[in-house]
């Protein structure tokens, strides 16, 4: 129950601030929803004099619905953003408040809720440049910058480690393995865990010299593939927590670090030896054993192995390299 003279808060008054887009875009969008941005219709209502034509399209008078919903420039930004984000969506309504409510209801989950504040802020910047600097910003440029900001926002997590604890999908009748790499103080180590069956597993840690974390991750995966080929295992499912490595090896992304490319090319050649090959991403909490082994390997010299093999309850430990 509201007190006399107090306005009931808008439905978005709290949820807007929980978005992960930049603070400037959230603050601007709050002002936009409250009708407090200094567009020409607002300024003229305050008896200020200035040009009333939209500086972006020069086809109609500038007001909030036109500038952020109806302007051909703004519509082109939204169309370009659809292409870049590779999703179909519609930003429309009789007013900003109506458009925002529709958008919120149509996109209950994920990061798309962040997009209207990001794009609206970009349109406003383009508008100000056109007025005060006489600089015309291409709609494609605003869409590109908005998409870059959008993709930089991490996907929302499910409640308290729920998504991180989600079990990996192990395919039946196939051995499975985990790998991880660690790098610290110019030392790098690799950790491997291979399950040949429910009762036969091998854990290994090895010092791999020095290098970046991505170098350690790639080296761990390469050593794992070499070990499997040495054992004549050509059907495998592998899990790792390095999303970069997973995407590089699966051909989703291209490695931009030219120093890592030779190592990645070796992995791609080794990958061709397998008849069945799955490489899936898991969160670090699900890769705990390989993670611990890789950190233990930081204390081991280059090429020094520590191997533990468990087969039918029999434990065998070795420091000999599994292959030449």
Q: What is the pLDDT of residues 13-49, one digit of tens each?
A: 888 998 999 999 999 999 999 999 988 877 877 777 7
Per-residue model confidence (pLDDT) at position 107? 85
Q: What is the pLDDT of residues 63-76, one digit of tens each?
A: 999 999 999 999 99
Q: Report whether pLDDT(161) > 60.
A: no
Q: What is the pLDDT of residues 182-240, one digit of tens each?
A: 998 878 999 999 999 999 999 999 999 988 999 999 999 999 999 999 999 999 999 99
Per-residue model confidence (pLDDT) at position 163? 60
Find the angle CA(103)-CA(21)-CA(156) to the nearest 5 degrees. 80
- Average pLDDT for the chain: 89
**Percentage of residues in the chain with pLDDT exceeding 70?**
92
Per-residue model confidence (pLDDT) at position 157? 59
Residue 16 CB neighbours (<10 A): 19
- pLDDT top residue among 40 and 141: 141
Distance CA 218, CA 260 (A): 8
Q: What are phi and psi of 67, to 5 degrees?
A: -65, -40
Per-residue model confidence (pLDDT) at position 148? 92
Residues 133-152 have a mean pLDDT of 92
Per-residue model confidence (pLDDT) at position 110? 80
Q: Report whether pLDDT(3) > 80.
A: no
Give CATH for domain 176-318.
3.30.420.10
Per-residue model confidence (pLDDT) at position 321? 66
Quick one: pLDDT band at residue 158, thresholds 50, 70, 90? Answer: low
Residues of the chain with CATH 3.30.420.10: 176-318
Residue 56 token pair: 């972006």
Residue 177 CB neighbours (<10 A): 23
Which runs of consecutive H residues, i.e. helices, occur in 86-155?
96-106, 115-128, 139-151
Q: What is the pLDDT of residues 251-293, one digit of tens each?
A: 988 999 999 999 999 999 999 999 999 999 998 888 999 999 9
**In the structure, how many helices (H) and strands (E) does the chain have?**
11, 7
Crossing angle of helices 96-106 and 115-128, rounded to 10° = 150
Quick one: pLDDT band at residue 78, thresholds 50, 70, 90? Answer: very high
Asked whether the whole model's pTM tops 0.85, one would answer no
């Amino acid at each position: 129950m509201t007190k006399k003279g107090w306005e009931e808060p808008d439905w978005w008054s709290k949820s807007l601030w929980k978005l992960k887009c930049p603070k400037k875009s959230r603050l601007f969008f709050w002002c936009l929803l409250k009708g407090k941005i200094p567009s020409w219709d607002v300024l003229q209502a305050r008896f200020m004099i200035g040009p009333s034509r939209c500086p972006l399209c020069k086809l109609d008078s500038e007001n909030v619905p036109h500038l952020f919903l109806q302007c051909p420039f703004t519509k082109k930004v939204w169309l370009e953003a659809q292409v870049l984000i590779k999703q179909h969506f519609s930003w429309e309504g009789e007013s900003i408040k109506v458009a925002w409510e529709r958008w919120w209801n149509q996109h209950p989950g994920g990061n798309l809720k962040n997009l209207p504040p990001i794009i609206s802020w970009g349109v406003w910047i383009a508008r100000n440049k056109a007025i005060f600097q006489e600089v015309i910003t291409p709609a494609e440029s605003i869409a590109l910058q908005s998409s870059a900001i959008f993709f930089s926002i991490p996907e929302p997590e499910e409640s308290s480690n729920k998504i991180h604890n989600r079990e990996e999908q192990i395919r039946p009748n196939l051995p499975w393995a985990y790998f991880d790499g660690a790098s610290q103080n110019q030392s790098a180590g690799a950790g491997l865990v291979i399950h040949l069956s429910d009762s036969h597993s091998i854990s290994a840690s090895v010092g791999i010299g020095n290098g970046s974390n991505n170098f350690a991750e790639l080296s761990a995966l390469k050593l794992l593939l070499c070990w499997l080929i040495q054992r004549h295992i050509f059907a495998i499912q592998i899990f790792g927590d390095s999303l970069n490595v997973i995407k590089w090896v699966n051909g989703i992304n291209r490695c931009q670090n030219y120093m890592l490319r030779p190592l990645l090319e070796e992995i791609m050649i080794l990958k061709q030896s397998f008849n069945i090959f799955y490489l899936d991403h898991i969160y670090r909490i699900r890769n705990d054993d390989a993670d611990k082994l890789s950190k233990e390997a930081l204390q081991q010299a280059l090429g020094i192995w520590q191997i533990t093999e468990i087969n039918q309850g029999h434990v065998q430990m070795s420091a000999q390299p599994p292959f030449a």
